[in-house]
C-alpha cells in the first residue's frame, strides 16, 4: 500500500512539473545584464528591472545613467550588454553592429524656472519655433526683449555637456546637431533641470520625466515647460496649451500636436541581435508585461503594431 502511495505522489509531482514549465524556467533563469546610457530611459529602466527581478531573482541587472553617447559607445565596444539611446541611430552606428529595439517614447520640452518672471506672459503668447532657433542655434536672440518683453535682461541659455539624446533631438527640431546648440553646457538631465530651476532668467530643455512629478502629474519639480506657438500667430491658442499636466501633454504627443522631433522613440541597443538568454528575456518582458508601467512612469506607450514589430526582433 505504501509503495502505491509513493508512486501516486511521484506521478502527481511529475504532472505538476509538466504543466508549470514557465514557473520553473523563471526560477532557473540567471545571469548578469549590464546597462548604461540615456538619462531619459534611466527611470523607467530601473522600474522594469525591479519588476523583472521579482520573477527572475537570479538575474543581476546593473544600470548606470551617463547619456545616450555613453550608452552607444559602451554597447558597441561590448563594455555593456545594453545601451540606452534616446535619439535616432545613425548609419555609422548600424554599420558597427548596433541593433536597436524601440521600447517606449517621450519628448524633449523647452523649460524655464517655475519662479521665472516671464512665465505668465509666455503662457499667453508661447514662443515661435524660429525664436527658439535664434536662441539655441544662431544666438541672435540674447535678451528677453527679443521675445517681446520690456526688459533687456539677458537670456541665460543652458544645454548639455554630455553626448545626449535630448540635446541631439532638440537640435534636430531645427535641422541641426547637438554641437550646434548655444548655451552653458551642463552634465545630465538632472543637472540641466537644476541649473534652470535656480535661474529665473534661464532657458533650457528636459525630458518629460524630469519636468513632471509622477505622483501629481504636474510640473512640480521646480521647472515648467515653455509652450511652443505652433501656428506662429503670436498667441498660445487653447489647442496649443496642453502643458498643464502630463496626461494632456502625452495626448498631444500621441495625436501629433506636439511635433516629432522633439518627440522621439527611445531605444535599447545591443551589439548585434541579442543572444544572451537573460537579455532576451528582459527585453521581451519590457515589450509585453513591462508596458503596464510605461504610462504611470510618465512615458508614452508604443502602438500595439510597433510593439509586435519590436518583439519580433528578439524572437
CA distances from 103 to 12, 48, 156, 225, 287 (A): 41, 11, 34, 25, 6
Report, as an integer, the average pLDDT of 272-300: 95
Instruction: Pick 21 or 289 by higher pLDDT.
Output: 289
pTM of the model: 0.86
pLDDT at 13 over 50: no
Q: What is the pLDDT of residue 192?
A: 97
- Over residues 233-278, the pLDDT tens digits come to 999 999 999 999 999 999 999 999 999 999 999 999 999 999 999 9
> Does the pLDDT at position 171 exceed 70?
yes
pLDDT of 89: 96
Section 76-85 average pLDDT? 97
Question: pLDDT confidence of 163, banded at 50, 70, 90?
Answer: very high
Phi-psi region of 64 (alpha: psi -120 to 50; beta: other; left: phi over 0): beta
pLDDT of residue 280: 97
Amino acid at each position: 500500500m505504501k509503495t502505491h502511495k509513493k508512486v501516486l505522489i511521484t506521478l502527481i509531482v511529475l504532472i505538476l512539473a509538466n504543466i508549470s514549465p514557465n514557473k520553473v524556467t523563471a526560477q532557473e533563469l540567471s545571469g548578469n545584464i549590464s546597462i548604461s546610457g540615456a538619462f531619459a530611459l534611466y527611470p523607467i529602466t530601473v522600474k522594469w528591472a525591479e519588476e523583472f527581478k521579482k520573477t527572475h531573482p537570479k538575474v543581476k541587472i546593473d544600470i548606470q545613467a551617463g547619456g545616450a553617447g555613453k550608452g552607444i559607445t559602451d554597447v558597441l565596444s561590448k563594455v555593456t550588454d545594453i545601451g540606452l539611446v534616446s535619439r535616432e541611430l545613425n548609419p555609422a552606428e548600424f554599420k558597427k553592429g548596433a541593433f536597436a529595439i524601440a521600447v517606449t517614447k517621450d519628448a524633449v520640452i523647452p523649460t524655464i524656472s517655475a519662479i521665472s518672471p516671464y512665465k505668465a506672459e509666455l503662457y499667453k503668447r508661447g514662443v515661435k519655433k524660429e525664436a527658439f532657433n535664434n536662441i539655441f542655434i544662431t544666438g541672435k536672440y540674447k535678451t528677453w526683449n527679443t521675445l517681446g518683453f520690456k526688459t533687456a535682461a539677458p537670456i541665460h541659455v543652458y544645454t548639455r555637456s554630455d553626448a545626449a539624446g535630448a540635446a541631439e533631438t532638440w537640435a534636430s527640431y531645427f535641422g541641426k546637431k547637438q554641437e550646434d546648440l548655444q548655451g552653458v553646457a551642463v552634465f545630465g538631465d538632472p543637472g540641466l533641470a537644476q541649473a534652470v530651476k535656480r535661474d529665473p532668467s534661464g532657458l533650457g530643455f528636459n525630458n518629460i520625466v524630469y519636468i513632471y512629478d509622477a505622483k501629481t502629474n504636474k510640473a512640480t519639480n521646480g521647472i515648467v515647460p515653455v509652450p511652443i506657438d505652433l501656428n506662429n500667430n503670436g498667441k498660445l491658442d487653447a489647442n496649443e496649451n496642453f502643458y498643464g499636466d502630463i496626461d494632456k501633454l502625452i495626448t498631444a504627443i500621441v495625436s501629433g500636436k506636439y511635433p516629432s522631433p522633439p518627440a522621439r522613440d527611445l531605444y535599447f541597443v545591443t551589439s548585434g541581435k541579442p543572444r544572451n538568454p537573460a537579455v532576451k528575456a528582459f527585453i521581451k518582458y519590457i515589450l509585453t508585461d513591462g508596458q503596464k508601467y510605461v504610462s504611470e512612469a510618465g512615458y508614452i506607450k508604443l502602438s500595439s503594431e510597433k510593439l509586435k514589430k519590436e518583439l519580433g526582433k528578439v524572437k
